[in-house]
Amino acid sequence: MTVEAIHYAQVCWLAERKINMKLIPVIFFLSLTLYAKAQQTDTLKYCVRDDLVGVGGYDPVSYFKSKKPVLGNDKIHLTHDGVKYKFASNENKKLFSSRPEAYLPQFGGWCSMTLVMGRATRPVYENFLISEGRLYLFERTLSVNGKELWLNNPIVNEKIAIKNYTSYKDTGKIQ
C-alpha cells in the first residue's frame, strides 16, 4: 500500500467519523513516521557499514565458492531485509536471491568470537570459516585471532554466541 493510499484511507475514515479535520495533518505525519520506522534497517541484527552494505561489501556467495572472499561489484547488488549486498557476478546474485539464508553470515555478520566474549564487533571480512555449510566471520588483531579461539571449542562457543547475539539484536546489550 502506498503512502498516498494510506493517507486517503485515513482521511476517509476520519470524515466518516466527523473527526476534526485539523487533526488530519498530525495523523498523516504520525503515519509517515511509523511507515519510515518500519522501513529502517535493523543495525543491531546486522553488522552493516554506514551505507547499509552488508558483509563489508564482499560477495557473500564468494565465501562458499573460493578460498578467499571477493569484493562485490557496485553495479550488481540487491537488498535483503534492508541490507544491501554486492556480488561479483550475476550468477552469485541469482544464487543468493534464491536462498539468502544459505549465504548470510551467522549472527548477522558480527564477529562470532567477540559475541562469545560479550561484545559485538565488526569482523575482518577475510577472516572467516565455513562450517557445516554456514559462514562465520571473525575479528583479528595483532595479538588475537577470533577464528583460532573459536576453533578451540566450537560447540560451546556456538551456544554462547547464539545466546549473546539474540540478546544483542533484541536489546542492544549482551546480558
So what's the pLDDT on residue 43? 75
Question: What stretches of 15-119 adopt beta strand conformation (E)?
Answer: 73-80, 83-87
So what's the pLDDT on residue 129? 98
The pLDDT tens digits for 145-154 are 999 999 999 9
Residue given cell 552488508 in the structure block: 54
The pLDDT tens digits for 66-89 are 999 999 999 999 999 999 999 999
- The distance from CA 123 to its chain's CA centroid, rounded to whole angstroms, is 14
Q: Would you state the cell numbers that stand for residue 93, as one nine-digit string? A: 546474485
In the chain, the amino acid numbered 113 is M
Phi-psi region of 116 (alpha: psi -120 to 50; beta: other; left: phi over 0): alpha
So what's the pLDDT on residue 166? 95
Bridge partners of residue 87, in order along the sequence:
73
Q: How far apart are CA 32 and CA 109, in angstroms?
A: 30
Instruction: Map 129-149 to HEC letters.
Output: EEECCEEEEECECCCCEHHHH
Residues 72 and 57: beta-carbon distance below 8 Å: yes
Distances (CA, A) of 46 to 33, 42, 82: 22, 6, 9
